[in-house]
Structure 1
Amino acid sequence: MSFVKRLEFGNYTLKFGEKKVLLDMFDEIVMPSFLEMKYIRKLGDNSEYFFLDTELIILDDNAEEPVLGIAGRMVKNTKLKRDQIFKEGELVDDKDEMESAPSSTFLLILNNHRLILTREVAGAPTIQNFQSTSQYCLSQAYKDFINKEFDEADDAKKKNPDLERVTKKKLKEDTPSPLLRITPLPDKESLEDFIGRFEKINKLSIKLLPTNREEIDNDDFWAALDKGRENMGKTQQRKWNLPAIKLG
């Protein structure tokens, strides 16, 4: 069976402590973390992940609110090893290795923090690989940012001893280390199919996770949920006890 490309979606939630999110540190940390091969995440001696062909693009040049995104590729550069093969009815020792670099293309829409990823070939990086690699690159960019801020403050202090001394501890308190979570998002069709599987739902739990302060747009989810609820029949008793939720 030939490999079939498909779009995968995720919500890219990035926070720096409780007060700063993705766009607050975009120029200083976020965009540098995506620069082509600036940071390389290594796994053992045979595999490494990195970004390639990345660029900041304009998706909609509306003068009042342009839509921007980061587009590029994520590469898994690895060596496939073998120790034996099955030949003429028996196992035969045959050590060999082959280089492989499957890739996925991605688009991160900055206005709503949505990630779109397509695996270009079999074995290409997944959304989970994207999260791990992006978290690593963000952490490295964060270290560079803290060091740069400290060095600049130290140089300024030498030129003007009256300035307040800046420590790395204080810089990290002002801007805590990045914490990334990518939540996979099903498309409209899969939501309807999922809800349609059930004749009866006895209990529903909804958990709202911290966001990047973007407006939440889940109209398709609620429409599909309501449609599935109506199909259960009016005789079913439905009682939802939802706690008060405060959105960050």
Structure 2
Amino acid sequence: MRQHTMQFANFILRFGEKKFLLDYLDTVVIPAITSKKIVRRYGRKTKFKLVDTNIVRLESGDKPVFGVYGRLVKDTLLVRTQLLIEGDTLVKDESSMRSSPSSFFLLVINNHRLVYFPETPHAPDLKAFKATIQYFLDEEHRRYIRKLISTPIGAPFPRSVSEAYFENPAPTLEVVPLGGGKDLVEFLRQYKVLKKISLRVVRPNPELDGAEILGELVEYTKKLEADSSTLISESKGGLSVDAAIETAKDAIETGSVFVTTNGTDKLGNQLQGNNEKFIITRNLAAIPPDDSGTAAKMYDALKKLGDEQIVKVPSISLSKVNADFLEAQSLSE
């Protein structure tokens, strides 16, 4: 039985300086992710599309937890120009065929955590997911702005384009892979000389409780209204690997820091690391026959990582308005 490998990330979505995912949940975010019309094109032969998207209630009770799941499909045209035949003869042979590899995702709306796994070989990765969702959000946000402009607000004149954008800034998305645990330690232990470690802090989601060593940098980022801030430590003679492990663990745990490392391994080869090299993975076997069941198993895996204190999984209550909206959407599917 084939196993699938889940990855985990933090989905940081901001609208300007003071608004976040939940502020535009019903007007931009969910309409963008569940849209059947938006298509992101890449070159002349490739397009990305979200399919099979649905809202799911992951936990019930006084503090319900909701998620949105679906597939990111890369629909492309594979082209060949030559072929190796018997006798090791290379001949010209032009042919093409469509291919549509896919990945499955679950975005937990309450805490903005993302669980993601490739379903097929050559499936779109997290970078493709981020680029596609950003495009979909931009398209849906423009539609929302057009709607606001065409709707009077109690006066004989509709609001202007500049007013609409000022009150409702464009979305900016960061998808930060969550790393740590033994994968992080094993990777950093490969360094004989760790010459450089860089921490890039992006503007966090409101629930972030940053590590103490990053507290001031996070606050500076907020005060300066910067999209990101970077802390770089380097030494030609080599930084302490033990200290780097602790620093990287604390940084990555926040879900809002991109960590990069540079140096040489024990054989003198160049070795570079980043969140993708440290990303936490878990196997997903025996996939349920229905997608909602798959989403539930992915959520259970995320909660287990939180219970084991490998990653932070904040417990966040939704407003009644957002909870009612998501409940209605989940019932309507």
TM-score by length of 2: 0.59
Correspondence 1:13 to 2:12: yes
Structure 1 portions without partners, runs of 5+: 219-227, 233-246
CA distance in 2, matches of 1:217, 1:111: 18
Aligned to 1:186: 179
Instruction: Please tell me whether the aligned partners of residues 106 and 118 of structure 1 are also in contact (alpha carbons under 8 angstroms).
Output: yes
Aligned to 2:74: 76
Deviation at 1:90, TM superposition (A): 1.8
**What is the root-mean-square deviation of aligned Cα atoms in Å?**
2.9
Aligned to 1:25: 24
Deviation at 1:141, TM superposition (A): 0.2
Q: Which residue identity is paired with 2:79?
A: K
Instruction: Please tell me whether the aligned partners of residues 3 and 121 of structure 1 are also in contact (alpha carbons under 8 angstroms).
Output: no
CA distance in 2, matches of 1:172, 1:215: 27
- 1:211-235 per-residue CA deviation (whole Å, 9 max, x = no partner) reads 12123477xxxxxxxxx55x99xxx
Residue among 74, 85, 89 paired with 1:87: 85
Aligned to 2:107: 108
Q: Which residue identity is paired with 2:164?
A: L
CA distance in 1, matches of 2:10, 2:102: 20
Deviation at 1:3, TM superposition (A): 7.7
- 1:121-167 per-residue CA deviation (whole Å, 9 max, x = no partner) reads 111010000000001000000010001111112xx66xx53xx6410
Instruction: Please tell me whether the aligned partners of residues 150 and 158 of structure 2 are also in contact (alpha carbons under 8 angstroms).
Output: no
Residue among 214, 231, 240 paired with 2:207: 214
Q: Given the superposition, is the C-alpha separation of residues 217 and 66 from structure 1 closer, same or farther in structure 2, using an over 3 Å criterion?
A: farther
Aligned to 1:35: 34
CA distance in 1, matches of 2:3, 2:120: 8
Q: Given the superposition, is the C-alpha separation of residues 97 and 205 from structure 1 closer, same or farther in structure 2, using an over 3 Å criterion?
A: closer
Deviation at 1:87, TM superposition (A): 1.4
CA distance in 2, matches of 1:143, 1:214: 27
Deviation at 1:199, TM superposition (A): 7.6
Task: Give the match's secondary structure for 2:30.
Answer: helix
Q: How many residues align?
A: 218
Q: Given the superposition, is the C-alpha separation of residues 95 and 4 from structure 1 closer, same or farther in structure 2, using an over 3 Å criterion?
A: farther
The structure with the largest strand share of the pair is 2
- Structure 1 segments of 4+ aligned residues over 2 angstroms from their partners: 2-5, 191-209, 215-218
Aligned to 2:169: 176
Larger gyration radius, structure 1 or structure 2: 1
Q: Which residue identity is paired with 1:118?
A: F
Q: Quick one: percent identity of the two aligned structures?
A: 33
Q: Given the superposition, is the C-alpha separation of residues 144 and 86 from structure 1 closer, same or farther in structure 2, using an over 3 Å criterion?
A: same
- 1:185-239 per-residue CA deviation (whole Å, 9 max, x = no partner) reads 2252312323444588787654432112123477xxxxxxxxx55x99xxxxxxx
Q: Given the superposition, is the C-alpha separation of residues 93 and 197 from structure 1 closer, same or farther in structure 2, using an over 3 Å criterion?
A: closer
Q: Given the superposition, is the C-alpha separation of residues 188 and 31 from structure 1 closer, same or farther in structure 2, using an over 3 Å criterion?
A: same
Structure 2 portions without partners, runs of 5+: 212-241, 247-255, 257-333
Instruction: Please tell me whether the aligned partners of residues 103 and 121 of structure 1 are also in contact (alpha carbons under 8 angstroms).
Output: yes
Deviation at 1:172, TM superposition (A): 0.2
